[in-house]
Structure 1
Amino acid sequence: MTQTERTAEQDILAMPDDHYMNAQQLAFFEQLLRQQKKQIQHHIEQIKQHLSSVAVEPDELDRALIEEDNRQNLRLVEREYFLLRKIEQALDRVARQEYGYCVETGQPIGIRRLLARPTAELCLEAKERQEIREKHYKKQRG
């Protein structure tokens, strides 16, 4: 993180609660999300290039190691595509000026939570309820 980014983050954190998701904060998070999107897209391209450049090895052990590496890279790409979709959804919420508010309750998510997880859709309380429901559902199935 550059000094300018740290300063912008500090400015956002220093704003009073009644300035929540003002134009400056929305612009900050939009820039942050676009930056993350660009980094992820670049990383996906690097992995794709790596996967396409892998040579076929005649040795079974080498081939098995390469296949395992490829499998892990494919899982990583899948996770990053999922994150890209979440970033796109967050950018859509920024454009609609709904970013920063819980999709379940309408309550503010909070600047600190958004700095930690810019794609957050739920406030802390709603996220905790969701995790409890998921845990309970797992117990019922398991």
Structure 2
Amino acid sequence: MTREELLASPPDDYMNAEQLGFFRELLRTLRAETMNNIEDAKQRLAKPPEVNDDADRSSHEEEVRLALRIVDRERRLLPKIQAALDRIDDGEYGFCRETGEPIGLPRLLVRPTADLSAQAKELAERRERQFVHKRDG
């Protein structure tokens, strides 16, 4: 199944076996790419270049900081990918964990690890901002 075929599916076919297979493969590919990205970053960090002046050292330190941020972000993505694969196995994938409503194919294509509908995510972010604002205020 291609993305185009997925998006052209009738609403009644939401999260049928073929669609679940599509997302299972998408998530497995994402997991493999994420693990490769982490390994590549680790390899780059393990072999620092020889730096001779302050400008080179500063540039290298900035590259290291960026690589560490990327590794951290990628590392935090792995459990989300596994949770999404588990939801496929449990028959819960594609449905909002708060409302039970469909998350929607376009959103899942953009963020296959999503477990909230766009509306539920927006509401959660609003609540979080209010909590932070009240806490800081």
Q: TM-score, normalised to structure 2's length?
A: 0.91
What is aligned with 1:120?
Answer: 114
CA distance in 1: counterparts of 2:49 and 2:119, whole angstroms:
50
Structure 1 stretches lacking a partner, 5+ long: 1-6
What is aligned with 1:17?
Answer: 11
1:130 aligns with 2:124: yes
Number of matched residues?
136
Task: Kindly report structure 1 stretches of 4+ aligned residues shifted beyond 6 Å.
Answer: none
Matches within 5 A, 1:7-46: 8-46=2-40
CA distance in 2: counterparts of 1:24 and 1:106, whole angstroms:
21
CA distance in 2: counterparts of 1:77 and 1:86, whole angstroms:
15
CA distance in 2: counterparts of 1:110 and 1:63, whole angstroms:
47
SS of corresponding position for 1:134: helix
CA distance in 2: counterparts of 1:9 and 1:63, whole angstroms:
45
What is aligned with 2:69?
Answer: 75
SS of corresponding position for 2:44: helix
What is aligned with 1:4?
Answer: none
Percent sequence identity is 47
The counterpart of 1:93, out of the listed 71, 87, 90, is 87
CA RMSD of aligned residues (A): 1.5
Deviation at 1:58, TM superposition (A): 5.2
1:53 aligns with 2:42: no
CA distance in 1: counterparts of 2:26 and 2:100, whole angstroms:
22
Structure 2 stretches lacking a partner, 5+ long: none
Give the letter for the 1:59 counterpart: D
CA distance in 2: counterparts of 1:56 and 1:9, whole angstroms:
45
Once the two structures are superposed, residues 71-127 of structure 1 have per-residue CA deviations (whole angstroms, 9 ceiling, x without a partner) of: 211111000111122111111111112100111111110111111111111012211
Q: TM-score, normalised to structure 1's length?
A: 0.88
